[in-house]
Amino acid sequence: MNDLELERLLDELRALPHETEWVEFKQDRYDPQEIGEYISALSNSACLHGKDLAYLIFGIDDEDHYIKGTTFNPLIAKKGNQELENWWATQLSPRVDFKILTLNVQNKNVVIVVIDSAKERPVAFRGIEYIRVGSNKHKLKNFPEKERKIWRQDRQYDWSAQVCVGATIDDLDMKAIARARIEYKNKNLRLASDVDAWDNRTFLNKARLTIQGQITRSAIILLGKEESEHFISPAVAKITWVLKDDQGIEKDYQHFGPPFLLKTDEVYSKIRNLNYRYLPDNSLFPTEIKQYEPYLIRETLHNCIAHQDYELGGRINVVERSDELLFTNLGNFLPGSVENVIATDAPPEKYRNSFLANAMVNLNMIDTIGSGIRKMFNLQRQRYFPLPDYDLSETNRVKVRILGKIIDENYTRLLIKRPDLDLQTIMDLDKVQKGIPLAVQDIKKLRSLKLIEGSKPKIYISAQIASLTDSKSDYIKNRAFNDEYYKDLIISYLKKYERASRKDIDELLLDKLSSALDQKQKRNKVRNLLYAMSKKEGTIQNNGTSRNPIWVLKER
């Protein structure tokens, strides 16, 4: 690992929350015995969370993760007459590999101990096994459920492949099975004629949903009747859709249970995928697209289903706001980082729910395992929209945010003008437009390509490169869309939700109006649009009062 890669790794680890159980930060104080216990605890926690590696870092403040530097160097330190590194290795059982790496950042020394995840059995230090719980170190024997789960990992235990005792094919939804047959044939065209001849038992075995006719947890999740969810208890198979306004206030919600093969379509239908217009490359003619590429919504939701840690007993959530979607599922992100997925462009080495994921591939719900995320990024790139955000900062939770609007017009114009840029460079530019810190070497690369301006921490995408003329940047930013665009948004909203208050209309339109208008002018603009649509055009009407209007579509 070179210095650039090591610095990127350090930035990623510093961005993690305080209670991450497979990372420990220390500043300058150390005790050989305590550090050995931490190596055991971190190795076991990494195994528990599906991580290949754990990290013990010296020179970083544990509270705020600021770089403080350290005088401790375990490569030269000793325990008695024995080298400290060797002493730790001899006290660990079974032997677990660890590497000691040093880095100079901001003229301060940082030491990173990279520790392999426990394999075959929990790792003990001097005969005692340890584990991290939150930000604290404990003896593993006090947490027998965690110890059992570590042993399960060694046996390659797959929760989704377990048979549901007592479940029969009568506990599956016949409409879901019929849909599964269609999707299986779409995925396996050469078998289409054979599928029609198979009975349900044969089909479910061929599609890898059952094992020798026995109903698995995967079959219940994807094809089960809603009342059959008890077969996977205490695990939960639920998707919750929530609509929130821009202040985070909940306006609507709905819960969905099995069969997920059918219910994901219902979740998708709840999402307002309105038309979005922008002016590409200073054209006077706007391009109109949907806020969200349908593939992104379905792939993200299906990934949540495939990779949810159902044993944690939580729901999959889809939170919708006016211009963004937030998907969350429980369980850590096994590849480690999105950058790893994009860089390797290959299937990960292990999965949480292998049986479930393979069944979903067979039913055409997700792409060949490992390729979906890269395709999602490329689709957003082709639309000149911000890339999906993967927030991995919380332990046992993955958050994916998809934006349905342009946030930096220079970014959009740059992608239009520079189709030759590789995906990693675009990912770095996407971080710039979102204000996400970059490693020093990444900043140097973007600057050498003349793609960014400013100095750290205020770095921005170069307007000179992105624009065609000096005046057109302001023209694009300040020019209002055609009034018909805003009227279409109002009509689409009313078709979907039937009624809207003035507050609803403001939330829908205000942030899409020209930035040349102040807040008062924007509100007047909305008022004029509503007046024109109700009094002049007769497309909408007020069923409320003048002080508290309730807008609906006018019947014709």
Question: Can you give the pLDDT at residue 347?
Answer: 62
Tokens 């719980």 label which residue? 133
Nearest by Cα to 100 from 112, 90, 88, 110: 112
Predicted pLDDT at 315: 95
Per-residue confidence of the chain (556 residues) as pLDDT tens digits? 677 788 888 888 888 877 788 999 987 767 889 999 999 999 999 988 878 899 999 999 888 888 888 988 888 888 888 899 999 999 998 888 899 999 888 889 999 999 999 987 899 999 899 999 888 899 999 988 788 777 766 556 789 999 998 999 999 999 999 999 999 999 888 888 899 999 999 999 999 999 999 999 999 999 999 999 999 998 999 999 999 998 889 999 999 999 999 999 999 999 998 888 766 555 545 677 888 999 999 999 999 999 999 988 899 999 999 899 999 999 888 777 788 777 776 666 567 899 999 999 999 998 765 567 888 999 999 888 999 999 888 878 999 999 998 888 888 888 888 888 889 999 999 999 998 888 888 888 998 988 988 877 778 888 766 554 333 444 344 444 567 778 888 998 898 889 999 999 998 888 877 665 778 888 888 998 999 899 888 899 999 998 899 999 987 6
- CA end-to-end span of the chain: 69
Which pLDDT belongs to residue 469?
Answer: 34
Residue 245 dihedral angles phi and psi, to the nearest 5°: -85, 180
Question: What confidence score (pLDDT) does residue 472 get?
Answer: 41
Q: DSSP alpha helices (H): ranges in 252-408?
A: 260-270, 294-307, 338-344, 354-362, 372-383
Residues 6+ apart with CB under 8 A from 89: 95, 98
Our measurement of the distance from residue 128's CA atom to the centroid of its chain's CA atoms, rounded to an integer in Å, reads: 36
Closest to 53 measured CA to CA, from 13, 105, 8 = 13
Start-end of H helices in 188-337:
192-197, 200-206, 217-223, 260-270, 294-307
Contacts of 224 (CB under 8 A, 6+ apart): 171, 172, 173, 176, 231, 237, 258, 259
Q: Does the global pTM surpass 0.85?
A: no
Tell me the one-letter amino acid at 253: Y
pLDDT at 262: 97
Domains and CATH numbers, the chain: 3-155 (3.30.950), 161-232 (no CATH), 239-410 (3.30.565.60), 411-479 (no CATH), 480-553 (1.10.10.1470)
Sequence-separated (6 or more) residues with CB below 8 Å from residue 195 = 181, 184, 185, 188, 203, 206
